Structures are given as C-alpha cells and as structure tokens.
Amino acid sequence: MRPKRPVSLVIGAALVGLVVAAALVSLVWTPHDYEAIDVAQRFLPPSAEHWLGTDQFGRDVVSQLMAGARSSVAIAFVAVLLGGVVGSLMGLVAASAGGLVEDAVMRLTDFSLAFPALLFAIMLGALFGPSFANAVVAIAFISVPVFARVVRGAALQVRSQDYVLAARAGARTPAHILWDHVVPNVLPAITVLATIEFAIAILVEAALSYLGLGVQPPTPSWGRMLAQAQTLLYLAPQLAIYPGLCIMIAVLGFNMLGDGLRDAADPRLTEGR
C-alpha cells in the first residue's frame, strides 16, 4: 500500500550514486581534458567524439559536467560536514546546558537566520576574494543554525524521556547521558537533515558560482557554466540546459534520498522542517 518509501529511497540513492560516481570517476578519467581550450572546435553538436558537444571554448561538455559534479559534491560535502558538526554541537550544548547558554546559542541562530545568507556570501566574496574555501564557509554558515535548532529540539525531546531514567539508574554525569542516550537518538535526525542540507548546499553552491563567487576557473562548476551560457542562449541554448539539469538531478537525488531515509528512520521527523 505504501510504494513511495522504497521508491524515493531507491531513486534518490540512484541519482546520488550517479552524481557521486561522475565526480569520483572524473578524478581519474574524463572523456576529454576538461581544461583543453580549442576555439576552433567550439559549439560542436553532440557526436561520438563529444557526447554532448563542446562549449564556447571548444571544451568537451561531458568532461566539464563530470568535473563540475566534483566541485559541487566536494563543496557541498565539506560545507555540510562543517555546518553539521558546528551546528549539531551548538544544538547539543544548548540542549544540555540550558539556561543562559541555551538562550545565547538560540539568539545566535536567530541572528544568523535573520542575516540574508546570499548577502553574507557576497560580502565574504568581496572580503577575501572568491574561492573554494569561501563558498564552503558561506554554505556552512547557512546550515549551522538549521542543524543547531533541529538537533536541540531532538535532544530536548530525547532528554525529557531519558534523563529521569538515566539519573535514576545511577550516578552518571550529564556528559555520559548525552553520549549514551542523546547522541544516538539524535543521530537519525542529523543524518536525514544532512542529506537535505546537502541538496540545499548544491543549490547554493550553484547560485554562488553563478554569481562568480564559487570555485575559480579552470575548475569547472555547474553554476559558472550556467552563468557563461546565459549570453549564449541564442547561439547554443543546450549549454544552459545541461548544467541546469545536472544541478536538478543532484538536488533531486539528495532530496529524495533524504525523504526515503526519513521515512525509513521515523516518519514523525517529517514535522521537523
């Protein structure tokens, strides 16, 4: 009666697998050198040689897209890891410390949620010049408050159930209780959230690259490919279509994987976001 769960998990995993595989394979092999510029070969239509044709500099589009997957996945991965660790720690600390600390952490998340994320990224770019690291920091900044809030909420819920029990069971320190009871119970929430944040990270990375704030050439990036293709709409509309589709596939994949994981872990988590 419920065909959706396995379906979204399977489709999500398949799409994510495709993107990650493309990213990994591009480390050792791409059909062509994605940096090789040959203006005479530009705007070639798809062929056996160039499966999706070539771009405005005569570079192979498939190779560019594969290497672009690498940028997207790498930035999203590092950013979500960073944002997830920092945010989750903040959430756990807030939940277990309570009182002033909790208030302070929550106000901090209020503050960062009130700060327009895109503006932050633009300013960061203006401050340090655009780079991989800046894109990571900007994206992590966006996800930190989300992690902090969700983890705090989940931790409070777990704690209200386990705390009394644990305290009665023996003289355990709060840190032990945190580690033994809260962390394992909060972990599914973090995992699910991480997948969804991963999808968001890929979208934000694309937007940053689109604005010229992401990884720098010659490292390809879907967002920059899109930005460059924008003026070529009349000449080679396909160049704007491919990277957009890639972004869509990656985001779709991570979202569906997240949905599937969430349903598998606990359907109640749906309310979290």
Partner 1 sequence: MTRFFLRRSAGFVATLFGVSFVVFWVMNVVPGDPALVILGIDSTPEAQEALRRLLGLDQPFALRYLAWLAGMLVGDFGTSYAFRVPVADLIVERLPLTLSLAMTGMTVTIVLALGLGVLAAANHNRPVDWSVMLVSQVGIAVPAFWLSILLVIIFAVHLRWLPPGGFPGWSDPLGAARALVLPTIALAAVQSAVLARVVRASLLEVARLDFVRTARASGLARSRILWLHMLPNALVPIVTIVGMQFANVLTGTIVIENVFSLPGLGRLVFQAISNRDLPLVQALVVLFATIVVVMNFLVDIAYGVIDPKLRPAA
Partner 2 sequence: MKTILATLLLASSLLTGVAFAKTDISIGMQQEPTSLDPTADATASIETMMTGNVYEQLTAVQEDGSVAASLAREWTISDDGLTYVFKLRDGVKFHDGSPLSAETVKFSLDRAMAKDSANPSKSIFEPIESVTVVDPVTVEMKLKRKDAFFLFNLASGKASIMSPAAIATNADKPIGSGPYRFASWTRGDRLTLEKNPDHRDATGVQVERVTFRFMSDPAAATAALMAEEIDAFPGFPAPELLPQFQSDPRFSVNVGTTEGEVILAFNNSRKPFTDIRVRQALSYAIDRKAIIDGAMYGLATPIGSFYPPHHRAYVDLTGTYPTDVDKAKALLAEAGVAEGTELSLRVPPFPYATRSAEIIQSQFAKAGIQVKIENVEWGFWLDEIYKKLNYDMTIIAHTSPNDLGNFARDASYFYGYDNAEYHQLWDRIQTETDTAHRDELSREAQKFLAREAVHGFLFQLPALNVVRKELTGFRMSSPVQAQPLSALRWQASN
119 binds, among partner 1, partner 2, none (CB under 5 to 8 A by kind): partner 1
Please state, in angstroms and rounded to a whole number, the distance separating the CA atoms of residues 272 and 196. 12
Residue from 10, 21, 37, 123 in contact with partner 1 (CB under 8 A): 123
Instruction: Extract the tokens encoding 169.
Output: 């069971």
DSSP structure class, residue 60: B
| Chain residues 44-103 in contact with partner 1, contact rule CB under 8 A | none
112-143 residues labelled b (16+ CB within 10 A) or e (exposed):
beeeebeeebbebbeeeebebebbbbbbbbbb
- Residue 125: CB minimum distance to partner 2, A: 7
Question: Taking the CA of residue 30 as centre, how many other CA atoms within 13 Å lie in the half-sphere pointing to its CB?
Answer: 24
Asked if 248 touches partner 1 (CB under 8 A), the answer is yes
Q: Which is nearer to partner 2, 50 or 224 (CB)?
A: 224
Phi, psi values for residue 60, rounded to 5° = -70, 125
The structure tokens 């589709």 sit at 245
Asked if 266 touches partner 1 (CB under 8 A), the answer is no
56 binds, among partner 1, partner 2, none (CB under 5 to 8 A by kind): partner 2
What is the chain's percent helix, strand, coil content, to nearest 5? 80, 0, 20
Q: What angle do CA 29, 33, 39 make, to 5 degrees?
A: 160
Q: Which is nearer to partner 2, 161 or 230 (CB)?
A: 230
Q: Which residues contact 170 (CB under 8 A, 6 or more apart)?
A: none
Q: Give the residue from 248, 272, 197, 229 showing the smallest Cα distance to 18.
A: 248
Residue from 2, 171, 234, 268 in contact with partner 2 (CB under 8 A): 234
Asked if 20 touches partner 1 (CB under 8 A), the answer is no
Binding mask 193-222 for partner 1 (x = CB under 8 A): ------x---x--xx--xx-----------
Instruction: Extract the tokens encoding 37.
Output: 């510029």
Asked if 104 touches partner 1 (CB under 8 A), the answer is no
Residues binding partner 1: what is the number (CB under 8 A)?
44
C-alpha 180, offset from chain centre: 29
Binding mask 89-128 for partner 2 (x = CB under 8 A): ------------------------------------xx--
Do you know the residue count of the chain? 273
Asked if 216 touches partner 2 (CB under 8 A), the answer is yes
Binding site for partner 1 (CB under 8 A): 1-2, 4, 8, 107, 110-111, 113-119, 122-123, 126-127, 199, 203, 206-207, 210-211, 226, 230, 233-234, 237, 240-241, 243-244, 247-252, 255-256, 259, 270-271
Binding site for partner 2 (CB under 8 A): 35-37, 39-40, 42, 56-58, 125-126, 129-131, 212, 216-218, 230-235
